[in-house]
């Protein structure tokens, strides 16, 4: 049986753990609000952008002169996977879910005999994928110094990806991130960004527009921006998902710590009672012997 002093120490240490997880939960809750606001603020842009692009793509896409970013290189031999995760851990299954999705996809592609290249954004995904896909890493983007994700961050990533595409390094690019549904559910998502795909139904009757300069020129101007926009949207969703995941993970941790404290306290009281009873028995039996 553990002695009283040990139990007391355990209880104290679990209590301070609970304080820390509680604090982390509250910080995550505050950050979540901000991240959600940022994601919300970017939505009108992304929605409009995709609607216009879908309209343009459907009217130009069929022709032979369509830009490569839209029609593809004509092959799908080399795949670039952009895996976006967090810079920090302690957020439940957030990082590992994204990594798992990316790993499965990579293994699927490798089994088909395709070439896979991986760009990681965020330290945690890099660590998680290093063992299986370390040989396929081509670049890493460090966002640990970035306090608030801005469009410029997405532009930098997009610029790198586009430079590789122009250099003929890959044929198809897919981004991996976590879509924020609500605090308890974040869905790891894979989205193909090059060649660009548009959801059905996004193209409404946009065929009536006049285009200035030409449709092709606008499309050529917008497609690279589209890559940045998609990456930016992914980063923001990721930011909100990370905080949501951390919040619920820390909430669970706090609750578990509470239960542990209760259990340990009962055990502590029982042993204390046992010690007192023992001493009483010794005193009484000592007195009887006289």
- Give, to the nearest 10 degrees, the angle between helix 215-289 and helix 4-60: 170
Alpha-carbon span 182 to 179, nearest angstrom:
9
Alpha-carbon span 94 to 177, nearest angstrom:
10
42 belongs to the binding site for another protein (CB under 8 A): yes
- Give, to the nearest 10 degrees, the angle between helix 151-166 and helix 215-289: 120
Whole-Å CA distances, 79 to 137, 177, 192, 227 = 12, 17, 10, 16
Contact stretch for another protein (CB under 8 A) within 8-16, 21-29, 139-147, 214-222 = 214-222
46 belongs to the binding site for another protein (CB under 8 A): yes
208 belongs to the binding site for another protein (CB under 8 A): yes
Contacts of 187 (CB under 8 A, 6+ apart): 178, 179, 181
Contact stretch for another protein (CB under 8 A) within 14-22, 82-90, 122-130, 226-234 = 226-234
Contact stretch for another protein (CB under 8 A) within 6-14, 39-47, 70-78, 172-180 = 39-47
Whole-Å CA distances, 149 to 62, 155, 215, 220, 258 = 36, 11, 32, 26, 35
CB atoms within 10 A of CB 5: 8
- Interacting residue with another protein among 41, 146, 266, 274 (CB under 8 A): 41
Report the nearest approach of another protein to the CB of residue 220 (Å). 10
- Interacting residue with another protein among 49, 87, 115, 191 (CB under 8 A): 49
Asked if 235 and 177 count as a contact pair (C-beta separation under 8 A), the reply is yes
167 belongs to the binding site for another protein (CB under 8 A): no
Q: How many residues interact with another protein (rule CB under 8 A)?
A: 27
Contact stretch for another protein (CB under 8 A) within 88-96, 191-199, 202-210, 271-279 = 202-210
* Active site amino acids: 91
- Interacting residue with another protein among 165, 176, 177, 232 (CB under 8 A): 232
Residues of this chain that bind another protein (CB under 8 A): 38, 41-42, 44-46, 48-49, 52, 56, 150-151, 154, 208-213, 217-218, 221-222, 225, 228-229, 232
């Amino acid at each position: 049986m553990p002695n009283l002093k040990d139990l007391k120490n355990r209880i104290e240490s679990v209590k301070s753990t609970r304080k820390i997880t509680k604090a982390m939960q509250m910080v995550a809750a505050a950050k979540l609000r901000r991240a959600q606001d940022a994601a919300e603020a970017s939505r009108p842009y992304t929605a409009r952008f995709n609607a216009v692009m879908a309209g343009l793509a459907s009217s130009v896409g069929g022709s032979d002169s369509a830009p490569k970013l839209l029609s593809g290189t004509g092959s799908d031999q080399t795949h670039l996977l952009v895996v976006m995760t967090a810079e920090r851990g302690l957020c439940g299954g957030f990082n590992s879910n994204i990594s798992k999705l990316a790993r499965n996809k990579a293994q699927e592609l490798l089994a088909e005999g395709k070439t896979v290249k991986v760009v990681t954004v965020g330290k945690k995904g890099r660590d998680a994928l290093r063992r299986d896909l370390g040989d396929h890493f081509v670049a890493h983007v460090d966002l640990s110094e970035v306090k608030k994700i801005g469009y410029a961050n997405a532009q930098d990533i997009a610029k790198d990806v586009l430079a590789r595409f122009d250099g003929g390094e890959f044929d198809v690019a897919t981004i991996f991130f976590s879509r924020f549904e609500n605090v308890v559910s974040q869905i790891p998502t894979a989205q193909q960004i090059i060649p660009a795909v548009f959801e059905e139904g996004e193209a409404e009757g946009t065929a009536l527009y006049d285009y200035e300069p030409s449709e092709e020129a606008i499309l050529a101007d917008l497609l690279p921006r589209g890559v940045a926009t998609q990456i930016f949207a992914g980063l923001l969703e990721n930011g909100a998902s990370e905080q949501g995941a951390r919040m619920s993970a820390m909430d669970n941790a706090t609750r578990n710590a509470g239960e542990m404290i209760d259990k340990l306290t009962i055990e502590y009281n029982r042993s204390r009672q046992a010690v007192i009873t023992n001493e009483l028995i010794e005193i009484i039996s000592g007195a009887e012997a006289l």
